[in-house]
Structure 1
Amino acid sequence: MKFNQFVIIGLGRFGSSIGRELIQLGYEVLGVDRDEEKVHEMSHVLTHTIIADATEEEVLRSVGARNFDCGVVAIGDDIQASILATILLKELGVKKVVAKAVSDLHGRVLQRIGVDRIIYPERDMGVRLAHQLVSPNLLDYIELSKQYTIAELQVPSCLEGKSLDDVNPRGRFGCSIVAINKPKGIIIAPVAKDVLTTNDVMVVIGTNDQIEQFQQSIGQ
């Protein structure tokens, strides 16, 4: 499903960041927050903004929340408000509801409510940073599930000038290089003859163990 209109509840750092990026990508965004200062700050950035309490059903009805393709509950400092706003969006029939969770308990409650996607910004960023700190070639790390991961790895000097056939990560470790980000552009689904240079970034997908073994092999 292609989303065109988003409503973001909570215009703190997390909600504002999402809103700015969605606008840059060409989508329409309504921002809702009780804080007048936050709303004013984003009023010239988002498509529409409103100072309101999103835990009140009539407020969400009046702004036409049910007509939005996706609702993002980005409230972080008030768990009760986060849960109430989420319930209302679900009851109003918003097609997809995404919510920020600040703890595992908060996340479990959101899951019970039926949230389509739960985001743990602080926890996820901590996990990604930890992996980056211990793996010098790792630029980014996204956990797809408890087993599978997508990782961005800087090509080390030991792989300079080598083709994917020479490196053979799938045959040796079971993981696959699904893209190579080169200075001149990205290669999607690279072939065996494509050559790596130290300016490249490899996008690798596989199990956590497979990628770890590959990282260790190129880090030596």
Structure 2
Amino acid sequence: MSAESRKPIIVIGLGRFGSAVACTLERMGHEVLGADADGEIVRDHKDLITQVVEADCTEPETLRRLGAGEFETAVVGIGTNLEASLLTVLALVDLGLPNIWAKANTDRHGRILERTGAHHVVFPEQKMGERVAHLVNERLLDFISFDGQFAIARLRAPEPIIGLPLVTSQCRKKFDVTVVGVKRKGEDFIHAVPDTIIMPDDELVVSGRIDRIELFSAIG
């Protein structure tokens, strides 16, 4: 990873979401400044990220003392306290940070965050709920959605296309999904080509509209 891609990031609010973001960024090689108003949470993270401080980041002056204005990217992981979430984002906006990510628990919370100045709003609970719902039916093995309409999914090869090369099964034409790759037991992942023959127990990685993927996973 280049030095350019390892710019320091400040993460405010170290609950489940903020902690996961901060620790993952640290593993990726970023310097992470974590901040939380709960002293116990701060102590729990002292050996996990570059630096962690106990602070009420709803106050612009507190953020200035922390040097938050020198960061390009901030992640606000405060979700349950709406006022604290909004005040923190507003304080970061006042400091001129160009890349502010904020967690929202509801659509209303998200809309207010956007109007307050957050550049990116994420809904982790909503996304996880959607993902779990798609996995519960046991047809999909993994699922990641984009913009609520498109997705990449991992699924067991549907019975009707087993034994056929992809050019014959015509997944894109018949089902409007694209088979990106194939994972065969005991073998490495392979990128799918028209001549790839789908075998029993193959797992497919497919992309397309969510409703088309759901239909494709159910054929047979």
Whether TM exceeds 0.5 here: the answer is yes
**Are 1:110 and 2:113 an aligned pair?**
yes
Cα deviation per residue 1:167-197 (whole Å; 9 max; x = unaligned)? 3311211221223345544445x31123445
Gaps of 5+ in 1: none
Q: Cα offset for 1:52?
A: 0.6
Distance 1:42 1:174, change over 3 A: same
Name the residue aligned to 2:132. Answer: 129
Residue 46 (structure 1) aligns with: 49
Q: Please give the secondary structure, in 1, of the residue aligned with 2:33.
A: strand
Match of 1:179 in 2: 181
Segments of structure 2 that go 5 or more residues without pairing to the other structure are none
Paired residues of 1:156 and 1:198 also in contact (CA < 8 A): no
Partner of 1:4: 7
Q: Is 2:17 aligned against 1:24?
A: no
Distance 2:183 2:113 in 1: 37
Task: After the TM superposition, list the runs of 4 or more consecutive aligned residues in structure 1 that deviate by more than 6 angstroms.
Answer: none
Choose which of 152, 157, 166 in structure 2 pairs with 1:155. 157
Q: TM-score normalized by structure 1? A: 0.87
Distance change (3 Å), C-alpha of 1:154 and 1:5? farther
Aligned residues: percent identity?
A: 37
Deviates more, 1:137-146 or 1:40-49: 137-146
TM-superposed deviation, 1:101: 0.7
How far, CA to CA, are the matches of 1:46 and 1:176 in structure 2?
40
Aligned equivalents of 2:200, 2:28: Cα separation in 1: 30
**Which residue does the alignment assign to 1:207?**
209
TM-score (norm 2): 0.87
Report the Cα offset of residue 31 of structure 1.
Answer: 0.5
Query: Which is worse superposed, 65-74 or 173-182?
Result: 173-182
- The residue that corresponds to 1:142 in the other structure is 144
